[in-house]
């Protein structure tokens, strides 16, 4: 049954202020403010415990600029609350007010837990039929909805300052916070939590990581259809609390403890010189389409927060779905832009994060259905004194548009073209040389003309969405059966190669070839111009058993099995050496695009391209699979002075006889890397490099990467 909504409280209340939005602790009490343009009545419900009845029901009498507000005297941090809002229920015209549904505050800084949406009562589903969508659902959900929590932002930051590392110096590590330590092999005390992650910070420092890009850490909703199948929303791309840290990653030491535990994680990462980048989802919410639950925005101001569509007779019944997740937030509306900007600023100013990766960021630039690099949201970011100085990374595509290279100058982008080209080249596909040349040198064809640098390109080969690096060289096909969708989910376009056998094998030759290809991929990623992003666990061959869409697998399919660290210690060692190599030879972190010109008057261009015979590469020969280039290290200041690197990328299945450039003055080439060699010989340390004896050529083994260093004899 529904509560009779009427003012019922012994609290002292006064008018309060319309700003800031949300619940704000002030001297003498708490100010509450919530935006709703079309509401008729707004009720604030106060709770003493998460699953209890409301202790007080307060009717908000004051509205300023569509913001309803009140001040409740005597309240303190820790107070639990929610809203019920009355208004028209006319879905065909966009109105979905329902006074029976408890709503979380869009500005809630913490929630008491996850939605109890497995009860017999549904949160607010109108999913049974179109007819039920026409009638008001009178079932009350107050006991099932987590309560918003009043939070006071006192925290000992211990003089925390952001590392402020430039893009060209970053090695980004994309990682799921829980999955990093959830497995029993992690050996941490608080597994799967913010505090558990802290225990593994020394590992990140050891392997050379200086930025972590976390999968979503904002409070997210778990869909009924997943719970019905015994699965869950593991990745978290279904945000419902945009100001609140995910509660399930906290220890639960006390209500709201996840807020301070999140801050503790950021503080400790900063102490280690590691930046924090959050993957954020402002393109849609967890409320889904017209048949989805009413949790927050639908019941507060549906036509403001969402892009709506429909028929002539019912113009606003349905939701525009640029995301594939049921709805799209209306970033053309000034209140929605304000909401997103307020959220982002809180994560920077109060929670101290260093940047954001925006999921399906093309949606954020849609106005009137079309992507625009001058969209209102991008303009708002560019003029904001807090946000225009942090790292902004776009996933530059959505369900209907691919915008790699088209974002504003302040934005970096996940470079999907780098991923696709390198995957195709390493597995030996024909016709990749010309595009590979662009990708290795920062994708100037995508970023140079609009004033961006090579490091606006975030280069990656694997990410959370797809195969791990282990599975990329072990599977020709996806194996998503555990997702219970008959293996129909996930992409079929993987550009993977199993090296002759599908899945795990004991064949030593196949295992060796797979590891060789993994090393090739790591060289292409780390030695290319651009900002490298590594999928967490690839450095020791984490596997998802061929699942390329593990979004619903909160189990050993997705978790880091730390036993593999010892099993694949050779790959881990190669990765650590490769990161150290990039830091030592600074030409590999060059911010500017290569020009093919002599810029330091040593008669050697900054980059010179070669074929195997010292001639020009056979760029347009589809059968050519070998590319060589030389970098002039003198173009970038370095502790080691003048040097040159000669890199051979041989994706051919045949041995290649590669002629090497000659120099005067007693300088000769030395081998540093040859991925075809056994561990220990494949990557030589400083001072251990092997001189290449005359005549001046190198036999590049099939499917190998070779790096030579020019040194004085």
* Catalytic sites, residue numbers: 359, 395
DSSP state of 166: -
Mapped onto helix, strand or coil, the DSSP state of residue 88 is: coil
> What is Dmax (Cα atoms) for the chain?
94
391 burial (CB, 10 Å; 0-12 / 13-18 / 19+) is buried
Answer whether the bond into residue 312 is a cis peptide, omega within 30°. Answer: no
DSSP state of 256: T
Let me know: does 629 contact 612? Beta carbons within 8 Å: no
Separation CA 524–CA 364 (nearest Å)? 31
DSSP state of 594: P
Q: Which two tokens stand for residue 350?
A: 């109060």
Q: List, in order, residues 6 or more apart from 177 with CB less than 8 Å away.
A: 192, 193, 194, 197, 214, 215, 217, 246, 249
User: If we measure between CA atoms, which residue out of 10, 103, 99, 105 comes closest to residue 67?
Assistant: 105
Let me know: does 144 contact 117? Beta carbons within 8 Å: yes
Let me know: does 249 contact 258? Beta carbons within 8 Å: yes
Separation CA 269–CA 212 (nearest Å)? 9
Strand pairing category for 13-14 and 275-280: unpaired
Let me know: does 277 contact 391? Beta carbons within 8 Å: yes
Q: How many Å from the N-terminal Cα to the C-terminal Cα in the chain?
A: 87
Let me know: does 549 contact 483? Beta carbons within 8 Å: yes
Q: Which two tokens stand for residue 334?
A: 């000034």
Angle formed by the axes of helices 297-305 and 334-349, nearest 10°: 120
DSSP state of 676: T
DSSP state of 78: T
Let me know: does 381 contact 392? Beta carbons within 8 Å: yes
DSSP state of 563: H
Separation CA 264–CA 108 (nearest Å)? 20
Separation CA 83–CA 36 (nearest Å)? 12
Separation CA 284–CA 398 (nearest Å)? 11
Mapped onto helix, strand or coil, the DSSP state of residue 302 is: helix
Separation CA 571–CA 699 (nearest Å)? 23
With vertex at residue 488, the alpha carbon angle to CA 119 and CA 469, rounded to the nearest 5 degrees, is 105
CA 201 to chain centroid, in Å, comes to 19
Q: Which two tokens stand for residue 304?
A: 């403001």
Residue whose pair of structure tokens reads 């009779």 in the numeric block:
4
User: If we measure between CA atoms, which residue out of 602, 618, 621 comes closest to residue 610?
Assistant: 618
Mapped onto helix, strand or coil, the DSSP state of residue 346 is: helix
Q: How far is CA 683 from CA 198, 628, 638, 668, 673, in A?
A: 31, 19, 21, 18, 5
Separation CA 101–CA 296 (nearest Å)? 9
Q: How far is CA 429 from CA 10, 467, 629, in A?
A: 74, 18, 20
């Amino acid at each position: 049954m529904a509560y009779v909504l009427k003012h019922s409280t012994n609290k002292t209340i006064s008018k309060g202020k319309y700003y800031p939005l949300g619940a704000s602790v002030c001297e003498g009490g708490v100010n509450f403010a919530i935006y709703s343009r079309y509401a008729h009545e707004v009720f604030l419900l106060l709770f003493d415990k998460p699953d209890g009845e409301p202790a007080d029901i307060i009717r908000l009498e004051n509205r300023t600029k569509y913001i309803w507000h009140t001040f409740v005297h005597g309240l303190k941090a820790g107070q639990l609350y929610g809203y019920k809002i009355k208004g028209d229920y006319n879905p065909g015209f966009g109105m979905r007010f329902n006074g029976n549904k408890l709503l979380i505050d869009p500005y809630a800084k913490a929630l008491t837990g996850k939605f109890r949406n497995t009860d017999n009562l549904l949160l607010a589903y109108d999913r049974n039929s179109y007819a039920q969508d026409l009638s008001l659902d009178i079932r009350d959900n107050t006991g099932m909805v987590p309560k918003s929590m009043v939070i006071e932002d006192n925290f000992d930051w211990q003089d925390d300052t952001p590392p402020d590392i430039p893009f060209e110096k970053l090695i980004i590590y994309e990682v799921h916070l829980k999955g990093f330590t959830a497995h029993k092999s992690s050996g941490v005390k608080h597994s799967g939590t913010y505090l558990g992650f802290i225990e593994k910070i020394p590992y990140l420092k050891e392997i050379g990581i200086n930025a972590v890009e976390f999968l979503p850490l904002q409070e997210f909703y778990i869909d009924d259809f997943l719970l019905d199948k015994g699965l869950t929303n593991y990745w978290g791309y279904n945000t419902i609390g945009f100001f609140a840290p995910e509660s399930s990653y906290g220890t639960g030491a006390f209500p709201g403890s996840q807020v301070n535990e999140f801050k503790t994680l950021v503080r400790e990462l900063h102490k280690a010189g590691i930046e924090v980048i959050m993957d954020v989802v402002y393109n849609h919410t967890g409320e889904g389409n017209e048949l989805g639950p009413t949790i927050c925005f639908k019941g507060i101001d549906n036509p403001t927060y969402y892009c709506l569509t429909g028929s002539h007779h019912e113009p606003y019944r349905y939701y525009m779905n640029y995301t594939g997740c049921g709805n799209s937030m209306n970033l053309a509306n000034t209140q929605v832009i304000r909401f997103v900007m307020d959220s982002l600023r809180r994560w920077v100013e109060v929670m101290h994060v260093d940047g954001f990766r925006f999921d399906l960021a093309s949606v954020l630039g849609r106005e009137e259905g079309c992507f625009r690099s001058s969209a209102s949201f991008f303009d708002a970011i560019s003029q904001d004194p807090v946000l225009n100085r942090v790292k902004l990374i776009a996933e530059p595509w959505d369900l209907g548009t691919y915008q790699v290279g088209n974002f504003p100058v302040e934005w970096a982008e996940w470079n999907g073209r780098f991923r696709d080209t390198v995957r195709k080249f390493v597995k030996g596909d024909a016709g990749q040389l010309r595009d590979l040349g662009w990708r290795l040198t920062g994708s100037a064809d995508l970023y140079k003309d609009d004033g961006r640098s090579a490091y606006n390109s975030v280069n990656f080969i694997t990410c959370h969405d797809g195969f791990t690096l282990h599975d990329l060289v072990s599977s020709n096909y996806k194996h998503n059966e555990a997702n219970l969708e008959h293996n129909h989910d996930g992409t079929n376009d993987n550009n993977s190669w199993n090296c002759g056998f599908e899945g795990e094998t004991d064949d030593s030759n196949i295992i060796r070839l797979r590891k060789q290809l993994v090393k090739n991929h790591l060289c292409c990623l780390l030695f290319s111009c651009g900002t490298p992003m590594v999928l967490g666990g690839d450095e020791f061959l984490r596997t998802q058993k061929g699942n390329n869409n593990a979004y619903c697998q909160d189990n050993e399919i997705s978790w880091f099995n730390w036993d593999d660290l010892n099993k694949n210690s050779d790959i881990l060692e190669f990765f650590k050496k490769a990161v150290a190599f990039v830091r030592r030879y600074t030409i590999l972190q060059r911010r500017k695009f290569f020009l093919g010109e002599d810029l330091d008057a040593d008669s050697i261009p900054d980059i010179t391209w070669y074929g195997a015979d010292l001639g020009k590469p056979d760029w347009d020969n589809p059968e050519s699979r070998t590319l060589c280039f030389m970098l002039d290290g003198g173009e970038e200041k370095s502790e080691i002075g003048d040097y040159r690197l000669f890199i051979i990328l041989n994706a051919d299945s045949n041995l290649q006889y590669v002629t090497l450039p000659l120099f005067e003055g007693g300088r000769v080439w030395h081998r540093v890397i040859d991925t075809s060699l056994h561990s220990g010989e494949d990557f030589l340390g400083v001072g251990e490099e092997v001189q290449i004896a005359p005549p001046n050529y190198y036999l590049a083994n099939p499917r190998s990467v070779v790096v030579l260093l020019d040194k004085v004899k």
